[in-house]
A and B are shown apart, each in its own frame.
Chain A
């Protein structure tokens, strides 16, 4: 990982400054995954979301993103309309939405524009994640770890305060786990918020929330 030079120091024009989950419950396919989940996250804080497989970590992240309906409770973003908050957060999961038949450059360019980032930020992000030599390859030619780095570059290229990460480190090798931990810490230092579902300890975590199956 190369040290970024021109990344904005703060998350300008941000809407989300805090995340609060109150008494949340999610039901999937008739089964209650969890209930009574509370979480308060302020700017600069990260929370590691743990729990066994099937305990609803992914569903909680998707519920925060507004993609899954809550059975009970609510998710607040410090007074920001949830519909607006959706355009101010990043979701990183197993299904990364990268099209196998397109080149890494095409995908990174599209998602940067879609996320509201500019070309400088794009170059910076590609450089930071050492993707420059890979940009002209089709996404199908990338390894799982390279693909994940592309998905992370997409988040850096379009700065948004809230990161919802679903096992962000799983396909990465030891060096990149450390490097992404540094990126996460940098995001927090800029006033970002991170909620990450993990099995291993999160490099930058300050809080933790455990879901019980």
Chain B
């Protein structure tokens, strides 16, 4: 337990500083959210119709930002070797790394998501649900993103490769979360989408570390 506690502290502080950490992710997020009215036009009803969807897609993109260095830095400087030389299974190590990533970027972004959606014209009544979706979705993004980050270890321009690997896997949470939000706004049943989002996040937490560990071992040997 002391090992894992030490690791989560290390991973969170490293992710906090990685590529500017949550501030850069939030800045990017705010940037994308401000771009939309510029491109679509400032008509309120038009923007309000897409506000939650746009906030949600921007969130998926912003969570890509700091994924690149999640494993790569440890791989390059030898820390990944030493993390392997431990009684802790590599799968658990990967799980903790993703949890650190989520704490440092996913959670701050989830705080920003309702703000962005409301700024674009979504009803403030949606805010709690947007926050909940962003928290759950952020877990899925961090754990799926970790797979991409581990798979692109050792590749040049690994960040770009990570994005290409990961974006298709971001599709289900974007659909489920966006669907739940749209249904809630329209007064329709929304719990189904939310349940699917939760299930996808749970599956990502369960299976993501297996894939990440396999990819890390492969990159090292």
Contacts and interface: CB of A to CB of B under 8 A. Distances in A.
Interface residues of A, number: 29
A105 interface: no
A65 B82 CA distance: 10
Given A65-B81, A86-B86, A115-B86, A95 B76 contact: yes
Contacts of A95: 76-78, 81
Contacts, number: 72
Instruction: Identify which of A62, A101, A109, A114 gathers the most chain B CB atoms within 10 Å of its CB.
Output: A114
B10 interface: yes
A87 B3 CA distance: 12
B43 interface: no
Nearest to A107: B10
Nearest to A87: B87
Contacts of B220: 67-68
A86 B85 contact: yes
A91 B10 contact: no
Contacts of A106: 10, 13
Interface in A57-71: 62, 65-69
A109 B10 CA distance: 10
Interface string B165-201: 0000000000000000000000000000000000000
Interface in A97-119: 97-99, 101-102, 106, 109-111, 113-116
A111 B79 CA distance: 10
Contacts of B20: none
A110 B12 CA distance: 13
A97 B81 CA distance: 8
B77 A84 contact: no
A102 B15 CA distance: 12
A96 interface: yes
Contacts of A68: 220-221
Contacts of B74: 97
B78 A114 contact: no
A68 B85 CA distance: 13
Instruction: Identify which of B3, B73, B82, B220 gathers the most chain A CB atoms within 10 Å of its CB.
Output: B82
A110 B82 contact: no
Interface string B77-105: 11111111111100000000000000000
B79 A97 contact: yes
Nearest to B86: A87
A114 B82 contact: yes
A66 B221 CA distance: 9
A113 B73 CA distance: 20
Contacts of A87: 85-88
B39 interface: no
Given A69-B221, A113-B2, A90 B77 contact: no
Contacts of B82: 91, 97, 111, 114
A101 B10 CA distance: 12
Contact of B6 (A89, A90, A91, A109): A109
Interface string B54-80: 000000000000000000011011111
B7 interface: yes
Instruction: Identify which of A65, A98, A106, A113 gathers the most chain B CB atoms within 10 Å of its CB.
Output: A113
Interface of A: 62, 65-69, 84, 86-87, 89-91, 93-99, 101-102, 106, 109-111, 113-116
Given A89-B85, A93-B78, A99-B77, 13 more contacts: A65-B81, A84-B87, A86-B85, A86-B86, A87-B86, A95-B76, A97-B80, A99-B79, A102-B14, A110-B6, A113-B2, A114-B6, A114-B82
16 contacts: A65-B85, A68-B220, A86-B85, A91-B81, A91-B82, A91-B85, A93-B78, A93-B81, A97-B77, A97-B78, A97-B79, A97-B82, A97-B83, A110-B6, A111-B82, A113-B3
